Amino acid sequence: MKESLKIEGMHCAGCANSVEKALSQVEGVSKASVNLATEKALVEFENGEITREKLKEAVQNAGYDVKDEDEKEDPDITGKKKLDVAYHKMWWSWALTIPIILLMIPEMFAGYALGGELVYQLMMIGLSSVVIFYPGLETLRGAWKSAINGSPNMDVLIAMGSLAALGTGFVALLHTFGMGPPFHSFAGIAGMIMAFHLTGRYVETKAKGRASEAIKNLMTLEAKEATIIRNGKEMTIPVKDLQVDDVMIVRPGEKIPTDGKVIDGESSVDESLATGESMPVQKEKGDEVIGSTINKNGTLKVQATKVGSETFLNQIIRMVEEAQGSKVPIQEFADRITAVFVPVIIGLAITTWVAWMIFPEFFGQIAVWASSFIPWINPNMGSVALAFYAAIAVLVIACPCALGLATPTALMVGTGLGAENGILIRKGKAVELLRETDVIVLDKTGTITKGEPSVTDLVTTSDLNAQTMLQYAASAEKGSEHPLGQAIVNYAEEHEVTLWDISGFEALSGKGVIADVDGQQVIIGKKALFEERNINISEDTATEIETYEKQAKTTVLVGIDEILVGIIAIADPIKEDSKEAILTFKEMGFTPVMMTGDNERTARAVAKEVGIEQVIADVLPDQKSNEIKRLQSNGKKVIMVGDGINDAPALTQADVGIAIGTGTDVAIESGDIVLVKGELKSVVQAIKLSEATFKKIKQNLFWAFFYNVVMIPLAIMGMMHPVLAEAAMAFSSINVVFNSRRLQKADLSTS
């Protein structure tokens, strides 16, 4: 069971870790994953006693809140509200901080304090206090909540840094009245720290909103109203009131309200939202259509087949949201660091202050040396003030946010880009694991071939004529769901062959079927099934079978009462892009392998045509996963590409399972990646997207680590002005988000 929670009040990676830890500790929860970028938690559990309220309570106990289900809003409105709040906080902080800067400039460079020292100190304290306790109040509240819950976050560092700086102003003020020691005031810096922090929050909020544009666009694509026929009358109703089997009228230029089947009319439909394909698709009676796609010219009557959460669009949104909430293995290392980051930084800040106090001469010499080329260092402040200066800089320069945003923002942009191109990344781990694979196993039917086999030849081996043999075979296959059986039935119907009723139907997995037709037992299936039952196959028949198989045709034998009466040859056309895609796999360094239940000769013929050397043939559906295991036992990392139905065990067993869906068939739970388009070139696009996304994740993590590794030591040595330190911290987070957004320009072309 899964539950998705919208978390409120998270501001950094420490916050996400705190919520994740709180949810994981709820008895019965097997896994909890919190995404800072999307502000969502995905909780998995098997205990039926776990309720949303229990999970909500755990989040609240950690100092955060959960948005109730009935509070859901339009994503654009919600994002705009957050951006407006962040903007107003930033605006007020700078409206108060700019006067602080204007007052500080003459004091710093000319030693002139406007209104005298006392008035100057009071103005610094007053203005900074308003900045900290008005627009910065939420930051202080967040710091307090996380601190009392034993999981300090980024807000704690900002609160400690700004309040400590403000506190020095009060000490200096007391000295002015002869009641305290001489001390350099950093009160003005306190307001500037908070102003830069709130500016960083605003830019980060704006950038994160843009990073999630793709999924928000999907959520706003749904049609609002539907024109339906009820009781013989045409009426317009909200889409949310649609019911399965409602007949909808869709006129040119209108969105198709929900998933359905065309029952009357012809038109072309723009399905680009689903497949990324710009060319409209022709639709006629019997064809499936996808909700929210656009009818281009003719009027269609569509019978609703799926409504609400079961529609194609909602399935995509759910898959993408789950992917964005999942984690890439490389993120685990960053998570371990961010979990202890804030306490370590607080410890470092205290250690910095103590070190400056114990070794004032050593650090003082560094300050004197650095002041010759760094204008903001003033070695004349005194050892205590310099110690505070360095400690405050350490507190506000450390940035766990960049580490926490490095993976989820890249994954957010990558999954959104994928959704726009018909590539649904269901599990974040696939992004990383794909780069480690070296073998691509391709199911033949429906993956390399179109999966729409048709009868090409009918050969009788007895006195029975071809039409009568077809009548027996098609009647027996009438109850089969196998593509080859359906091909025989379709061929008979096309030739207006009357089918008999059957009894005693039995499907033999991967072998064939047995049924009683018109009082006779009919056996249809592979050559192996006939050999197994000791049904005689003459040399001439065997030669004929071999001839068809060399032509890449699958042969189905027909027997009546244990006597072979004929052969039906069936061909499954190869997809137009298969050969080109397989050549691209080779160029990318992968070894393509074809796996099929067909016999070796037919399989080899198909493989030769598309350029595959390695073939695994005569594999029953339940044996496919064992073949994947065999490849893995030989040290191979395997991608399995299949249709997600009889290939489900193999897709699950593979290191990365890629399920190819078609049209509305996207509810495939076994694939790590689901491709909406039934084209093999989509696999190439999926691999390129995964490579590009993982590259961004690595870049983000590198710069996040690099920033902290370089900047924190500089702050310890007293070389970073606290205000510049806070500005640099904000920039590091913003850099990660904007670098992730560049992923939207990734080249997914297959040529």
Q: Which residues are catalytic?
A: 443
Beta partners for residue 642, in sequence order: 659
495: helix, strand or coil: coil
Sheet holding 29-35, edge to edge: 29-35, 40-45, 2-8, 65-67
Q: Report the interhelical angle of 360-371 vs 383-397 (nearest 10°).
A: 70
If one counts every other C-beta atom within 10 angstroms of the C-beta of residue 568, the result is 27
- Provide φ and ψ at 649, rounded to 5°: -60, -40
Query: How far lies 561's CA from each of 96, 477, 513, 518, in Å?
Result: 96, 16, 13, 12
Nearest to 175 by CA among 385, 367, 358: 385
| Rg, the chain, Cα only | 34
Q: Please answer whether residues 175 and 149 qualify as being in contact, where contact means their C-beta atoms are separated by less than 8 angstroms.
A: no
CA distance 426 to 326: 9
- Provide φ and ψ at 641, rounded to 5°: -115, 120
DSSP of 395-416, one letter per residue? HHH--HHHHHHHHHHHHHHHHH
CA distance 300 to 305: 15
If one counts every other C-beta atom within 10 angstroms of the C-beta of residue 349, the result is 25
Question: Residues 78, 83, 88, CA angle at the centre, nearest 5°?
Answer: 130
Q: Which is it for the CA torsion 342, 343, 347, 353, positive or negative?
A: positive
DSSP of 66-92, one letter per residue? EE-GGG---HHHHHHHHHHHHHHHHHH
Nearest to 528 by CA among 578, 597, 627: 597
Ramachandran class of 589: left when φ > 0, alpha when ψ lies in -120 to 50, beta otherwise: left
Helix/strand/coil percentages in the chain, nearest 5: 55, 20, 30
CA distance 24 to 98: 45
Query: How far lies 507's CA from each of 24, 196, 530, 559, 649, in Å?
Result: 46, 70, 14, 15, 20
Q: Please give the structure tokens belonging to residue 216.
A: 């928000």
**β-bridge pairing 591-595 and 439-443:** parallel
Nearest to 551 by CA among 658, 456, 633, 674: 456
CA distance 728 to 394: 12
Q: Which amino acid is at 442?
A: L
- Helix residue ranges, H only, 599-680: 600-610, 624-633, 648-653
Q: Please give the structure tokens belonging to residue 137.
A: 């109040």
Residue 201 C-alpha from the chain's centroid: 24
DSSP of 517-554, one letter per residue? ETTEEEEEE-HHHHHHTT----HHHHHHHHHHHHTT-E
Q: Please give the structure tokens belonging to residue 421.
A: 């191109």
Q: Which is it for the CA torsion 226, 228, 233, 237, positive or negative?
A: negative
Sheet holding 267-270, edge to edge: 281-283, 267-270, 294-295
Beta partners for residue 513, in sequence order: 507, 524
CA distance 66 to 57: 9
**β-bridge pairing 614-616 and 29-35:** unpaired
* Burial zone of 586 (CB within 10 Å; 0-12 exposed, 13-18 middle, 19+ buried): middle
